[in-house]
Amino acid sequence: MDRRDFIKKAMLSAVAGAMVSPGAIAREAEKQVSVEERGTGILNYNPNMQYRPMGRTGVDVSALGFGMLRLPMLASGHVDMDQSVEMVHRAIEGGVNYIDTGRVYINGESEQAVGKALAGGWRDRVYVTSKSPWWVMERPEDFERLFDESRRAIGTDVIDFYHIHMIMHRGWREKVLPYRLIEKMEKLKAEGKIRFMGFSFHDSLQLFKQVVEYTPAWDFCLIQHNYLDYEYEAGVLGPKYAAANGMGLAVMKPVRTGFLARLPQSMKDALASTGVRKPDTEWALDYLWDIPEVSVAVSGMGSMADVEENLKYAAKASPNMLTPAEREALGAAIRAFRSTPGHIDCTGCYQCIPCPQNVAIGYIFAYVYNNYLVHRDLKRAMADYTVSMSPVQRGDPASSCVACGQCLPKCPRHLDIPRLMDRVKEALGK
Ligand code: SF4
Ligand code: SF4
C-alpha cells in the first residue's frame, strides 16, 4: 500500500465513524509508509525495532545490539549454551540484527555460543562481529590464525564487522603498528573474508583521533560510553569525531558493567527529583540512543529478562529523544554521583598515561575506586580491579605507583595522583 492509498483508506474509516483526526491520519500514514519503505533492504527488519545507518557501510543496524560477553553461566563455569541460544533467537525475532562477540570472550565460548545460535539459517538474519586480540599475538602470522579460529567457532566464512580488539597506547605501539594489523585487515576485506573493518578502543581521545586518522579504510569503531563518564576515554567527543570521518559507531557497556543498571539510592533520588521516572537501565540506553552519531548500543544481556526489557526500550530508540526534563534528570544523577564522600574528581580522560610503571591511572580512579565508594562492595570492586586489568591491557594497580610525579603536570584537573594512589591502596589493598 502506498501513502496515497493508505490516507484514502484511513479517511474512509474516519468518515465511516471512527474518531480519527486528520492530523492523526497523516501521522499514521507517515508511520505506515515509513515502515514499508524503510523495511526494504534492512536485514531482519521488525517494525518494533529501530534501525540506524552504520556510517559509510551502507547498512542499517538495529539500535540494540546483542553483546555476547555476559552470557548466562552454568555452575561448571561454562556458558549455558541452551539458554544463550534461546536468548539470541528471541533477540533476533525482536528485530536485533547485530551480534557482538570476540575471540577471547569467555575463553572462546562466546564465539561458540554465537555459532550454535546462528546455525540452521539464523546467520542470514544478522551481522556478526568478532575481534582480533593483539595481546595474545606473539608474531604477525597469529593474526590470520586467530581470524580463522573465529570463523570456525562462529561457523561462518565471512565476518561482517571485524575489529582490532581493544586498541590502547601499548597495543597500538607494540603490536598493531609493527605487526601491520591494519594492512592485514585491509587484505581480508579485499579478499571478501570480512565486510567491514574497525576497532574497539580504550584510551585517550588524543589516541582515538590518531587511530581514526591513521587510515580512511576504517568503516566503524566500538567505544565505551555512558552518561556518567562524559569524558572517559574517547568520551562524548569520540562519537562526533568518528561520525565526522564517516565511521559507524557501536557503543559498548551502556550500563557501565552493571553499575548503571543498579544505581545507588543517591542517584535514584536525583533522577526521581525531576519528576521523570523510568528503570535504571532504560535511562542508560536512552542516553546513548539520544546521541545521533550512535549507530548501535551493544548491550551485554545475561538473561531472557534482560533481552525482553532491552527490546521494549529499543522500540522507541531515536536520535534526540530525550526531553529537557530528562536531560536535567541525568545531570542531577551525575552531580549526585560526584558528591559521594571521598569521590576523586578524575574524568578518566587518560591524559596522564603512559605512566612509566604502567599504572592504569584513569581506570583506577574514575572507574574502580569511585564506583567502590558508592556501593562499598569490595568484592565487586576487586572484580573490576583485578579481572579487567592486566599488565598488557588496562595497566597495573595502584601498588605499582612509585610516586615519581611524571603524571602530575599532565592532569588537567591538577589531581595529586601519587597521594590518591595511596588512598586507593589503603581501600582496596593493592
Ligand atoms: S606518580 Fe605513580 S602513577 Fe604517576 S607516573 Fe609516577 S608511577 Fe605513574
Ligand atoms: S588523573 Fe587526571 S589526567 Fe589522569 S585520567 Fe584522571 S583526570 Fe585525566
Q: Are 283 and 262 contained in the same domain?
A: yes
CB 45 within 8 Å of CB 51: yes
**Domain assignment present for 45:** no
Mean pLDDT over all residues of the chain? 88
- pLDDT band, residue 24 (cuts 50/70/90): very low
CB 260 within 8 Å of CB 280: yes
Give the residue, 213 or 234, on which the prediction is more confident.
Answer: 213
Exposure string (b/e) for 188-217, b if CB count within 10 Å is 16 or more? Answer: bbeeebbbbbbbbbbbbbebbbebbeeeee
**Domain assignment present for 417:** yes
Cβ of 407 closer than 6 Å to ligand 1, yes or no, is: yes
Q: Are 286 and 184 contained in the same domain?
A: yes
**Domain assignment present for 194:** yes
Atom 2 of ligand 1: nearest residue by CA position: 401
Give the residue, 5 or 365, on which the prediction is more confident.
Answer: 365
Domain boundary among 306, 332, 358: 332
**Domain assignment present for 260:** yes
Sorted by sequence, the CB contacts under 8 Å of residue 346 that are 6+ apart come out as 361, 362, 365, 366, 370, 413, 415, 420
- pLDDT band, residue 405 (cuts 50/70/90): very high
How many angstroms separate the CA atoms of 47 and 39, rounded?
A: 8
Q: Are 122 and 152 contained in the same domain?
A: yes
Ligand nearest to the CA of 418: 1
Q: Are 324 and 348 contained in the same domain?
A: no
- Residue 254: cis peptide before it, omega within 30 degrees of 0: no
Domain boundary among 332, 358, 378: 332
How many angstroms separate the CA atoms of 71 and 216, rounded?
A: 34
- pLDDT band, residue 23 (cuts 50/70/90): very low
How many angstroms separate the CA atoms of 61 and 12, rounded?
A: 36
CB 133 within 8 Å of CB 102: yes
Indicate the range of 22-36, 223-237, 308-322, 340-354 predicted with least confidence: 22-36
Q: Are 241 and 371 contained in the same domain?
A: no
Atom 8 of ligand 2: nearest residue by CA position: 349
Ligand nearest to the CA of 205: 2
Atom 7 of ligand 2: nearest residue by CA position: 346
How many angstroms separate the CA atoms of 420 and 405, rounded?
A: 12
How many angstroms separate the CA atoms of 210 and 86, rounded?
A: 41
**Domain assignment present for 118:** yes
Ligand 2 geometric centre to CA of 271 (Å): 27
How many angstroms separate the CA atoms of 222 and 180, rounded?
A: 20
Residue for grid cell 550454535: 116
How many angstroms separate the CA atoms of 384 and 378, rounded?
A: 10
Atom 7 of ligand 1: nearest residue by CA position: 401
CA 279 to chain centre: 19
Q: Are 29 and 173 contained in the same domain?
A: no
Measured from the Cβ of residue 425, the count of other Cβ atoms closer than 10 Å reads 16
How many angstroms separate the CA atoms of 231 and 227, rounded?
A: 10
Pocket test for ligand 1, best of 358, 406, 419, 423 (most atoms within 8 A of CB): 406
CA 233 to chain centre: 13
How many angstroms separate the CA atoms of 415 and 397, rounded?
A: 18
Q: Are 200 and 306 contained in the same domain?
A: yes
Ligand nearest to the CA of 403: 1
Q: Domain holding 276: CATH number?
A: 3.20.20.100
- pLDDT band, residue 273 (cuts 50/70/90): confident
Expressed as residue numbers, the domain containing 230 is 51-332
How many angstroms separate the CA atoms of 309 and 305, rounded?
A: 6
Q: Are 327 and 347 contained in the same domain?
A: no
β-partners of residue 220 are 198, 248
Q: How many domains does the chain have?
A: 3
Indicate the range of 75-84, 312-321, 340-349, 382-391 predicted with least confidence: 382-391
Q: Are 274 and 375 contained in the same domain?
A: no
Instruction: State the pLDDT at residue 13.
Output: 36
Q: What is the pLDDT of residues 230-252, one digit of tens each?
A: 777 777 888 888 999 999 999 99
Pocket test for ligand 2, best of 344, 361, 406, 416 (most atoms within 8 A of CB): 361
Q: Are 122 and 263 contained in the same domain?
A: yes
**Pairing of β 296-300 and β 64-67:** parallel
**Domain assignment present for 87:** yes
Pocket test for ligand 2, best of 417, 419, 420, 421 (most atoms within 8 A of CB): 417
Query: DSSP labels for 288-340?
Result: HHHSTT--EEEEE--SHHHHHHHHHHHTT--TT---HHHHHHHHHHHHHHHTS
Atom 4 of ligand 2: nearest residue by CA position: 352
**Domain assignment present for 18:** yes
Q: What is the pLDDT of residues 167-176, one digit of tens each?
A: 988 899 999 9
Q: Are 229 and 254 contained in the same domain?
A: yes
Q: Are 289 and 345 contained in the same domain?
A: no
pTM of the model: 0.85
**Domain assignment present for 384:** yes
Instruction: State the pLDDT at residue 354.
Output: 84
Residue for grid cell 579504510: 217
How many angstroms separate the CA atoms of 63 and 98, rounded?
A: 9
